[in-house]
Structure 1
Amino acid sequence: MPTSPPLLGQALPVELMNTVFADRHGVHDALTSAESARRWLGAVAPRLDAPLAGSADRLTEDGLARLRGLRDALRRLAAELTGDPRESAASAIAELEAAVRTVNEHAGSARATPILELTEGGDVIEEFRVTGPPGELFVSAMAAEAVHFFGRWRDLELRACLAPGCVLYFIKNHPRREWCSTACGNRARAARHYARHGKPPSTG
């Protein structure tokens, strides 16, 4: 089973939501184990601040459960905002209040504060003091970013990709954008074409 979700260059909360993804074999979850979660964290690490990138290797099974819970909360918020009709994309969290509560519980649960440190050689360098469990640092930072992200509720151009079989979300950054990717756009247009001509879409 594939464990590498597509990275669309979206805001990190959207990338986290898209760790639930689909291909011709069905819907997959890229966060099924701490190892697979670390691989995903490694893929997004270049976009993270230093202390967050370094926290990926310290993700524990408990941290994985928290990351999955946060992901499910964000997908529930996204479904509400977009009016997402896709049953296959439904979040494990059914209640909107529970989703909001989950995000708020994680935001600020761990924090990295920049500090100056004097080395033995007499140099002054920047380091980070982590408050809270190190394995929780990424989840906490992602939750805080999600607060800012969804806090623009009425102005947020978040969309559910309604191409056949897709379960991803994306930011509509162009008036004519309808799909999360070119591949989904091609698939949707092919499906419409075959529907008009009474032929099933090719599975090849």
Structure 2
Amino acid sequence: MRDAISTQDSISGNARLALDLALTIRHDGHGSVTDDLTDPAGLSAWVRAHPDTVLDAAGFVADEAAVAAVRDLRAAVRALFAHAVRPAEPSPADAARLMPVPDAVRRLNAAAARTPTVPELHWAEDAEPVVRHQAVQGEGELTAALAQAAIAFLAGPDRRRLRACHAPRCVRYFLKEHPRQEWCKPSCGNRARVARHHERHRQNA
């Protein structure tokens, strides 16, 4: 799920985490939309691949309540992503069932408030010291961390580069890296060009 943003090394950690959450809804390559967070095993695997989400990501084990909470939060994030890319169209994966923006904002803020954060100093050798805000472990730790990352992204400069990819079958959001970029990755651009070619030939037939 990370291939769509693996080349975007310049984006902030908050933007990357918010995008990765949105990208848990993706095209499976065979004509269907896949959800990576349908059960506790899927969420557990996703959190373990994202060590910045919780204090003990490597040992994280999700339950049904955590799955429901993260899926609810993701719905709010994707609704706000759709709002952010206007006047362009949102991702087709959920364009017909987006929650109202005020509801999405309330859900995001409520999730962010569930767990407080504390500043942690990180200072690697031969690097400048940096402060990261780490969620205090406890109930709501995961959803709070994800919500806070989404809020930071939506309120930051990276939001202006957010786009929905409209290549055939793609349902991804991505950050635009250069003025002429239309698609989240080259394979989507290839599919879009092939589709346009077939459409022109169909109209001229």
Settle same-fold status: TM greater than 0.5: yes
How far apart in 2 are the matches of 1:187 and 1:96?
Answer: 32
How far apart in 1 are the matches of 2:146 and 2:96?
Answer: 18
- Matched residue type, 2:30: R
Q: Secondary structure at the match of 2:183?
A: coil
CA contact (8 A) 2:108 2:147 kept: yes
Structure ID, larger Rg: 1
- 1:89 partnered with 2:89: no
Relative distance call for 1:29 and 1:49 in structure 2 (3 A) is: closer
How far apart in 1 are the matches of 2:53 and 2:83?
Answer: 30
- 1:67 partnered with 2:70: yes
- 1:102 partnered with 2:121: no
1:123 is aligned to none
Q: CA deviation at 1:198?
A: 2.2
Relative distance call for 1:193 and 1:79 in structure 2 (3 A) is: same
User: Which of 77, 82, 90 in structure 1 is aligned with 2:80?
Assistant: 77
2:26 is aligned to 21
Relative distance call for 1:33 and 1:92 in structure 2 (3 A) is: farther
CA contact (8 A) 2:116 2:136 kept: yes
Unpaired segments of 5 or more residues in structure 2?
A: 9-15, 121-133
Superposition pairs of residues 95-134 of structure 1, within 5 angstroms: 95-111=100-116, 113=118, 130=136, 132-133=138-139
Unpaired segments of 5 or more residues in structure 1?
A: 116-127, 200-204
Highest relative contact order (Cα 8 Å, sep 6+), 1 or 2? 2
Q: CA deviation at 1:6?
A: 4.5
How far apart in 1 are the matches of 2:75 and 2:168?
Answer: 22
How far apart in 2 are the matches of 1:67 and 1:175?
Answer: 33
Q: Deviations over 1:61-107 (max 9, x none)?
A: 21111110111101001111213255433375421111001100011
How far apart in 1 are the matches of 2:176 and 2:164?
Answer: 10
